[in-house]
Amino acid sequence: MNKIAPHPAATTVEPFVGRGVSRPNARRLVEGRGTYVDDVELPRMVHVAYLRSPHAHARILRIDAAAALDLPGVVAVVDGRQLAETCAPFVGTLSHLAGMRSPPQHAMAVDRACWQGEAVVAVVAQTRAEAEDALQAIQVEWEVLPAVTRMDSALEPGTPVIHPDLGSNLCFHREIDSGGVDAVFAAADVVVEETYEFGRHTGVTLEPRSVLADFNPAERRLTVHHSHQAPHMMGDLYARLMGIPEADVRVLCKDVGGSFGLKVHAYADDFATVALSVLLGRPVKFVADRLESFVTDIHAREHRVKARLALTRDGRFLGFDIADLTGVGPYSMYPRTSAVEGNQVINLCGGPYDHPHYRATLDVVFQNKVQTSQYRGVGHPVACAVTEGIVDLAAATLGIDPLELRRRNLMADDSFPRKGASGILLESLSHQRCLARLEEMVDFAALRRDQAERRARGIHRGIGIAVLIELTNPGAAFYGTGGARIASQDGATVRLDPTGIVHCASGVGEQGQGTETIFAQIVADEVGVPMDRVRVLTGDTAATPYGGGTWASRGAGIGGEAVLQASRQLRANLLEFAAVHLELPVERLRIAGGAVIDTAEGVPLMDVAELGRLAHFRPDLLPAGFQPELVVTRHYAQRDYPFIFTNGIQVSHVEVDVETGVVTLLKHWVVEDCGRVINPLLVDEQIRGAVVQGLGGVLFEECLYDENGLLRNGSMADYLVPMAGEMPDIEVAHVETPTRSSELGAKGAGEAGTAGAPAAVMNAINDALRPFAVRLTSQPITPEKILRALHPHLAD
């Protein structure tokens, strides 16, 4: 019998799941040794630059590119019509969003450009600089068409229709009605009503969108290096639009420099770049520069929501009545569409609260602006700000403390599983426990005393609360049922190598959240090896199980469960193998610390590496007919609910300078229930990072357009994102309600911060300004808006 020296911690190994271990794969990033797409250079690689429409809406009368072709380094000049021969058009609709419409979109504009920034001509050259030089030599003759810019007049009769075939600028309309809403509002003691506006903003990943397409004509195989969240989805789309078998398309996502949903979409530029590689038979690289990022990256959140809330005199919520209008650009984004954000807004308004009646309408309209689509939080920041804003208005109207009004109306922790009034299914939430945890964290009485004391001295501080729910771990309800080939299932393959290393390959990738780290923690625990014996591979469609990738906060909950199931089975296989080899009953054995342990004697019997060695090199020593299986693949799809909801509460403490309108963020608190916490170090930073993106949205970020549909602030100098100096410290606490839909119990944690922060800050500002009887409901809440509210007669 192979007895080995006892492993130091062989019998009492502390689990890795639940510990704040740091990320083994981050060392390369702090040393500047990561591999982002722009770092990859291939033989015969050329670069593409796109000539983009300078107009929001214009017909292309003539393109004269002859002069560009003669310039140094230029390899090809291709227009939209030529490219359409290689890349089929695409339509961004989902069949379960009934009645949704969007016209076919091309990789580059054909005949007509519909937003400022749409690619019209591609120049491929030896260097990006040469390609940009050649753009200057191209003449395009335009017929400028009237642009639809305002969403509120997009459906009016006098407004031009962007796509005449559709008959109107309506992309999608939906209504939810629980019934009896008019009667309830008519009979209610109190009805409060307010309109909330949300400025368009965008993700501003620090690494711009990047794609390096490498079509090899000899074998007709396509390899795409992509800065992306959903490599399998992209492989499928490239295959279908270019007519290449999916099996011959490989998508690689190494290091991704920020994603936030912005990089989950299929951009026209991606298709154009891949089509150019197919056309030219050589690698073509496209890296958006920052200026073109602002006019081609998806925007999000251009919404105007009218909200009404009916209550009893003692503050019981009776019903919400919501009308959301959102403008989404000229085409619905393919393949996830531009209607999901609005759809989520009307699904989620009023979501944390127990109320019997609900009515909501949604109008999604086309405009000649950049396309909008899913960005971190997707509708939640809007729904949360509307809900929490009007709850605060109700509290002020009734003279009830905002925290107390919420306490009276939150869904009780023991009322789950249940339905929300909008029809959403909720598995298990912990609003009451989160509220209790929040009150341990935040001394509200002291904050109120401080507020009163300072107010007397002309200093205006405010406290804002936001309760939220967040959908995570989606099933097929999001896309699959609507006909999009976007996997809701994900898989993991784990294997033991002869050296005793356990490899794990997952369809869910890493964009810095720590996905690979939490997978390594799960593998380590479930197989029974130290974490430094685990290697994780993601971001390669040729080497990982087919899966959906990273979106809707599904990485930990869906991908992690697949890793858990695969690892458990590998451990079972290893134990069976060890039992056969050691001639002991399998029940007597367990694996911990990388060793097979005899539970009867409490001693390690052999290292798992020895099992690897035997299986690979000495199968002759194994009993006849026994085949050890050291590779296991398992899949997981969450099928119990459409989504697994999380919940949380945030509090913002601000000071508003009523002379300048400047808001100072003093502190931010978060209580979050994302189910089982796999790695608190990583989860807390997901939450903090997400909160700050929400803070950017509520205070700074907006894509400003002029009346002609031209972006006025398309640079990082003019478009403001949060800087360190303006951001507060953020305190985070957890309540853990594991989901019962998986054995891992993890729910998503990546987006709730963004969902709740805008509402908390808006409420805090309005709380600060209560003595002035003004309310700010248009985000971003800029100093100018605050001063205009305080001084309504102020001249321009």
Give me the residues that bind other proteins (CB under 8 A), please.
22-23, 26-27, 29-36, 38-39, 72, 129, 203-208, 255-260, 289-290, 511-514, 681-682, 685, 688-693, 715-717, 721-727, 729-730, 753
Q: How far is CA 160 from the centre of its chain?
A: 33
Q: Give a three-class secondary structure readout of 299-341.
A: EECCEEEEEEEEECCCCCEEEEEEEEEEECCCCCCCCCCCCHH
Query: Whole-number minimum distance, CB 287 to other proteins, in Å?
Result: 9
Task: Give a three-class secondary structure readout of 20-84.
Answer: CCCCHHHHHHHCCCCCCHHHCCCCCCEEEEEEECCCCCEEEEEEECHHHHCCCCEEEEEEHHHHC
- CA angle 160–161–167, rounded 5-degree value: 140
Question: Minimum CB separation from other proteins for residue 508, in Å?
Answer: 16
Closer of 255 and 610 to other proteins (Cβ): 255
**Closest CB to other proteins among 529 and 695?**
695
- How many angstroms separate the CA atoms of 625 and 433, rounded? 56
**Smallest separation (angstroms) from other proteins to the CB of 72:** 7
Cis peptide before 335 (omega within 30 of 0): yes
CB 113 within 8 A of CB 60: yes
Q: Least distance (Å) from other proteins to the CB of residue 696? A: 9
Cβ of residue 119: shortest distance to other proteins, in angstroms?
19
Cβ neighbours, 10 Å, residue 40: 16
- CA distances for 361 relative to 11, 344, 345, angstroms: 59, 12, 10
**Alpha-carbon span 218 to 104, nearest angstrom:** 31
Comparison of 26 and 176: residue with beta carbon closer to other proteins: 26
Min separation Cβ 173 and other proteins, Å: 34
Residue 484: CB minimum distance to other proteins, A: 26
CA distance 101 to 265: 18
Type of residue found at 570: L
Instruction: Indicate the residue among 202 and 541 with the shorter CB distance to other proteins.
Output: 202
Q: How far is the CB of 660 from other proteins (least distance, A)?
A: 19
Q: Is the peptide bond before 780 cis (omega within 30 degrees of 0)?
A: yes
Residue 514 or 528: the one with the smaller Cβ distance to other proteins is 514
**363/685 with CB nearer other proteins:** 685
CB closer to other proteins out of 206 and 445: 206
3-state SS string for 593-632: CCEEEECCCCEEEEEHHHHHHHHHHCHHHCCCCCCCCCEE
The label of the residue with tokens 């797409």 reads: 37
- Give 176 or 681: the residue with its C-beta nearer to other proteins: 681
C-alpha–C-alpha distance, residues 424 and 344, integer Å: 10
Q: Name which of 390 and 522 has its Cβ closer to other proteins.
A: 522
* Structure letter (DSSP) for residue 524: I
Give the nearer residue to other proteins in terms of CB position, either 200 or 359.
Answer: 200
CA atoms within 13 A on the CB side of 626: 19
Min CB(665)–other proteins separation in Å: 11
The residue type of 120 is V
Closer residue to other proteins (CB): 612 or 714: 714
Taking the complex as a whole, the smallest distance from the CB of residue 262 to other proteins amounts, in Å, to 10
Structure tokens at 517: 């780290």
The least CB distance from residue 208 to other proteins, in Å, is 8
Nearer to other proteins, 540 or 726 (CB): 726
For 337, other C-beta atoms within 10 Å of its C-beta total: 28
Q: Tell me how far apart the alpha carbons of residues 239 and 249 are, in angstroms, rounded to a whole number.
A: 7
Query: Are 277 and 283 contacting, i.e. CB atoms less than 8 angstroms apart?
Result: yes
> How many Å apart are CA 437 and CA 649, to the nearest integer?
10
With respect to other proteins, which residue has the nearer C-beta, 29 or 239?
A: 29
Smallest distance from other proteins to CB 681, Å? 5
Quick check: 703 and 641 in contact, CB under 8 A? no
Query: Residues 154, 148: contact at Cβ < 8 Å?
Result: yes
Phi-psi region of 51 (alpha: psi -120 to 50; beta: other; left: phi over 0): beta
Nearer to other proteins, 30 or 621 (CB): 30
Is the CB of 587 or the CB of 729 nearer to other proteins?
A: 729
How far is it, in rounded angstroms, from Cα 675 to Cα 745? 6
Shortest spacing between CB 37 and other proteins, in angstroms: 11
How many Å separate Cα 644 from the centre of its chain?
A: 15
Q: Which residues of 766-780 are buried (b: 16+ CB within 10 A; e: fewer)?
A: bbbbeeeeebbbbbb
Query: 172 forms bridges with which residues in the sheet?
Result: 364
Q: Are strands 170-177 and 357-365 parallel, antiparallel or unpaired?
A: antiparallel
Closest contact distance (angstroms) between CB of 715 and other proteins is: 6
Type of residue found at 307: A
Cβ 294 to other proteins shortest distance, Å: 10
Element (H, E) at 135: helix 128-135
* Spatial distance between the Cα atoms of 663 and 726, rounded to a whole number of angstroms: 9
Give min distance, CB of 583 to other proteins, in A. 45
Which sign does the torsion angle of CA 143, 146, 150, 154 carry?
negative
Q: Could you tell me the smallest distance in angstroms from the CB atom of residue 524 to other proteins? A: 18
Cβ 651 to other proteins, closest distance in Å?
16
Nearer to other proteins, 194 or 726 (CB): 726
Please identify which residue in the block is written with the tokens 């753009």: 135
Of 26 and 603, nearer to other proteins (C-beta) is 26
Q: Which is nearer to other proteins, 33 or 639 (CB)?
A: 33
